[in-house]
Chains A and B, each alone.
Chain A
């Protein structure tokens, strides 16, 4: 079955540091890939997505590139802010199915 493996947390960074959260996946066919974010006390929100190989999703300074050859979708941001503190979930959906398969989540804390 489909699965997503993402970097174990928690991750603690200083403001303006570079962020990478690693994510790899296993899926049949050609999945679509997403990063969802869960801010404290709020519901999950879509951060970015990529639906085919070599696509780059980007939003709010975050980027991730769909790499079919390495089955990866790593999340990056050049300069994190305190407001980026949240839990980040790498996610996929396969084929026409709309159910999402989530990674375990990575807790990010950014210190001023």
Chain B
């Protein structure tokens, strides 16, 4: 089975632009979560989607949004980029929405904002 696939692997944008990141979960997985990883703040939860519905959202401004499609693929969007948005964005998938379920992480998209 293919793992969690995130595209693109690297991205360079300038302040004020917007960006869309993509995540394809493992086949059959219906839950997708997004995390931001930075050297200063570490790993922080962004949001989770299950069956096209946002189930939970972390403490991030409204510039960060996401969606999930009927095939479980997910996208996250960041508008009006700021320098502090430079980070590794990780996507994770799991088969269901049960608590304590193992998450399968992708290798991430490295976003640099200049």
Contacts and interface: CB of A to CB of B under 8 A. Distances in A.
Contact of B4 (A43, A89, A98, A103): A43
Nearest to B58: A99
A95 interface: yes
Contact of B108 (A43, A46, A49, A96): A43
Given A98-B31, A98-B99, A99-B33, A89 B43 contact: yes
B42 interface: yes
B103 A102 contact: no
B48 A98 contact: yes
B45 A99 contact: yes
Interface string B72-104: 000000000000000000101000010111111
A98 B33 contact: yes
Given A44-B105, A100-B45, A103-B42, A93 B100 contact: yes
A93 B48 CA distance: 14
Contacts of A101: 45
A46 B103 contact: yes
B3 A43 contact: yes
A31 to B, nearest CB: 10
Interface in A60-102: 89, 93, 95-102
B90 A44 contact: yes
A96 B3 CA distance: 26
A61 B97 CA distance: 29
Interface in B5-53: 31, 33, 35, 42-45, 48
Contacts of A46: 102-103
Interface of B: 3-4, 31, 33, 35, 42-45, 48, 55-56, 58, 90, 92, 97, 99-108
Given A43-B104, A44-B103, A98-B56, 15 more contacts: A42-B107, A43-B4, A43-B105, A43-B108, A44-B105, A46-B102, A49-B100, A97-B56, A98-B55, A98-B97, A98-B101, A99-B33, A99-B56, A102-B43, A105-B43
